[in-house]
Chains A and B, each alone.
Chain A
């Protein structure tokens, strides 16, 4: 009897270990594969020069810059809106059917395919608001795309701030807004950033939402305002792999671009992680 139970336990542990291993190996495999194929084209020139000769030569600098602009724009729109929504939902709203409905709506938003966001952005920002295909329209679309992630993470972070902090502040005759702003929000910030990191990664890597709203097939000039369209890494990869003039000739550049995209996403995550780590060090309870 004991033996059987012990066997069952070992089998289960083995299964769980194997799952973790498969995930790690897959991730490692992808990164290794990209590195092996993309490594050779990476050079200073590749990341600082625009494409030339119908994109079969030259670098990808405009696309790198475009992705950075779009990601920062998405954060600038998604973070304040998402945090403000989460503050309303957790701190102010009276919990009831209406709030449950809003939460269901947010979850649905998270499940909407990204191409639908792209079409929405095209119809709403590009055409109705007349922003044209631009950094602004793309950032807004991406900002809305990552909103559910940021709201979810922010709500969890706000809820994890001990209720006793709120009570202590309110009991001093400090207003609800001041309590939220001075006590609750600073203590929730590391958690909010953790969630935002996920959103940031997604914003940088998405292709469909920016395809109709921001990304240019090719432009060698850099954007001079938020109303200009830009090249972007994910879309550039898509273009090179499917619609280029000479797909075979651009193969190494494709791998190189993928490598740069992965590096940019990891880089942005790393910065966010460092900021979070710094804030956590100041977390004192």
Chain B
């Protein structure tokens, strides 16, 4: 596998019961880039995202065909433990979902339970919060409940919580859709910063956001990958008419 490629999908099909949600998807994700997945609701983009850290395993009656290679190995190989995959592939959800614990314990929770963690937890908490540009706002209230933070702060806390596991990849499922414009701008800045060290794959309904922050964009429709290219190309001169119609708002 090309060293710039971190994840490779080969002919992936995904089913909820008898309904096929993804059809024959083959694509690669590039290391240290931001890749945006766009498309109308129900097109399969979130399903695809949740395939990459095996979160779809939690839903009864789902089935995957094809292979998803990460570090040369198929993550759906029966010998692979999904827990190990999720340590390397972090996730941030649509709605901020901090635990009802203190700010400190939200960050420390994952690393404390991960057996392979040996470093100093205090340092790790500070480092993670700094990476998520939240440290200055919370450094004096680390023992306060995370539920008292604003929505935008909570979402950055969730990002810090994911970063504390030192993942290679960060999956983001519409991370700003529940936030106000100022919080959204902060998260977008943060993503710019994070891509130096992490590979980011983000699902978004916001076209401007995809155009602003991503390097590559994939457009999905009805479970098919319609077009996948550099973001600039997708937003200025897409190859497929359908893509153009979607990003210009003619349907969606």
- A and B held together in a complex: yes
Measured CB to CB, the residues of A under 8 A from B are 94-95, 162, 164-175, 178, 182-183, 187, 283-285
Contact (Cβ within 8 A) A167 B93: yes
Contact (Cβ within 8 A) A164 B95: yes
- The 6 A-B pairs with the shortest beta carbon distances in the complex, nearest first, are A173-B87, A172-B110, A173-B86, A164-B97, A171-B91, A284-B100
Taken together as a complex, chains A and B put the C-alpha atoms of A175 and B84 apart, in Å, by: 9
Contact (Cβ within 8 A) B110 A174: yes
Q: Please, could you name 5 A-B residue pairs with CB atoms under 8 Å apart, sorted by A?
A: A167-B97, A169-B109, A172-B86, A174-B110, A284-B147
Query: Which A residue's beta carbon lies closest to that of B100?
Result: A284
Taken together as a complex, chains A and B put the C-alpha atoms of A173 and B81 apart, in Å, by: 10
Partner of B60, one of A94, A164, A183: A94
Contact (Cβ within 8 A) A169 B58: no
Taken together as a complex, chains A and B put the C-alpha atoms of A178 and B111 apart, in Å, by: 13
Contact (Cβ within 8 A) A171 B95: no
Contact (Cβ within 8 A) A173 B109: no
State whether the Cβ of B141 lies closer than 8 Å to any Cβ in chain A: no
Contact (Cβ within 8 A) A173 B147: no
What's the minimum C-beta distance from B41 to chain A, rounded to whole angstroms? 19
Taking CB atoms, residues of chain B closer than 8 Å to A178 are 113
Taken together as a complex, chains A and B put the C-alpha atoms of A167 and B98 apart, in Å, by: 11
Query: Which B residue's beta carbon lies closest to that of A166?
Result: B58
Taking CB atoms, residues of chain A closer than 8 Å to B53 are 171
Contact (Cβ within 8 A) A171 B147: no
Contact (Cβ within 8 A) A284 B145: yes
State whether the Cβ of B158 lies closer than 8 Å to any Cβ in chain A: yes
Contact (Cβ within 8 A) A285 B93: no
Extra contacts besides A171-B53, A171-B90 (9): CB < 8 Å: A164-B93, A172-B110, A172-B161, A174-B110, A174-B114, A178-B113, A182-B109, A284-B101, A284-B145
Contact (Cβ within 8 A) A173 B100: no
Taking CB atoms, residues of chain A closer than 8 Å to B88 are 173
Contact (Cβ within 8 A) A169 B162: no
Contact (Cβ within 8 A) A173 B99: no
Contact (Cβ within 8 A) B100 A283: yes
Taken together as a complex, chains A and B put the C-alpha atoms of A171 and B55 apart, in Å, by: 7
Taking CB atoms, residues of chain A closer than 8 Å to B90 are 171-172
Taken together as a complex, chains A and B put the C-alpha atoms of A221 and B53 apart, in Å, by: 64
Contact (Cβ within 8 A) B97 A165: yes
Taken together as a complex, chains A and B put the C-alpha atoms of A187 and B147 apart, in Å, by: 14
Taken together as a complex, chains A and B put the C-alpha atoms of A164 and B92 apart, in Å, by: 11
Contact (Cβ within 8 A) B158 A173: no
Taking CB atoms, residues of chain B closer than 8 Å to A183 are 99
Query: Which A residue's beta carbon lies closest to that of B53?
Result: A171
Taking CB atoms, residues of chain A closer than 8 Å to B110 are 172-174
Contact (Cβ within 8 A) B100 A170: no
